[in-house]
Amino acid sequence: MFNKRGQITIFVIVSILILAIIGLYYFTSKEGINQDAITPEIAPIYESVYECIEESIPESIIEIGQNGGYRVPTNFSTSSGFAYYYFNNTNYMPSKNQIMEELSLSIIGKIFACTNDFKEFTEVNIFQRDPEVEVIMGDNKILFEIKYPLTIEKENSTSLLEDFGEFEYNLRLGLMYNSVYEIIEESNENICFSCIGEKAIENDFYVEVRDYDEESIIFTFKDENSIINGNPFIFKFANKYTLKENEE
């Protein structure tokens, strides 16, 4: 009796293993399911998303520069939207990680807007998850790694897309950030114009300083060595200094 039950138990275990293997094969090798494969049927979708990414990244870079490292002007900005980096003897400059996160979120939002829920592809069902944008900022280059999980269904076939590759730009945002950071760290209630001039000459930046109001000054850094959408990269922010007569 024991041997018979043992044989039945072994048979059940083997059957379960066989079913598991068949199921795994079904989900990984079923005709029409291709992980990260660009078939002729899904090539137009891949190309459309790729074009959206190519458009979204430069737009986000320009946006981040205009807003001092943010997607949109923060509450701690001038009425015209220039982010304050130095305000009454305190440093409010965002970190590099914050700027990279803002870039990532900006790109994700623009990709969603550009793909428009894939409404133009009426012959298939496309299920999307949030894009993932990793930003790697160097002194002279910036790298974007894009993943956008898509499940594409048409009749009895299903295809999976996710990896849209890397996008590299000759953008000296890291170097510009370092220069601005040093200027902010050296700031006090008197602007060091010589310090700004030295940083501009040292790193081949153009720097414009102009009054915004009685206490605020707008800084514009322009880099002719970083061309985005045909124009030099521009980075703007504001500093606010307390007037001495207001301190008395």
What would the pLDDT profile of 62-76 be if each residue is shown by its tens digit? Answer: 999 999 999 998 889
Residues 105 and 165 in one domain: yes
What's the rounded Cα separation, in Å, for the pair 137 and 146?
15
Whole-prediction pTM value? 0.81
The better pLDDT of the pair 25, 92 is held by 92
In this structure, are 50 and 165 located in the same domain? yes
Q: Does 199 lie in the same domain as 143?
A: no
Question: Are 141 and 224 members of one domain?
Answer: no
74 belongs to a structural domain: no
* Cα-based angle 178, 73, 94 (whole degrees, multiple of 5): 30
Mean pLDDT for 115-123 is 95
Largest CA distance in the chain: 102
Q: What is the pLDDT of residue 16?
A: 43
Average pLDDT, the chain: 85
Parent domain of 140:
43-68+95-169
**Contact residues for 141 (Cβ-Cβ < 8 A; gap 6+):** 168, 169, 170, 171
Least confident segment among 80-89, 124-133, 161-170: 80-89
Residue 212: the pLDDT is 93
Confidence bin at 135 (pLDDT 50/70/90)? very high
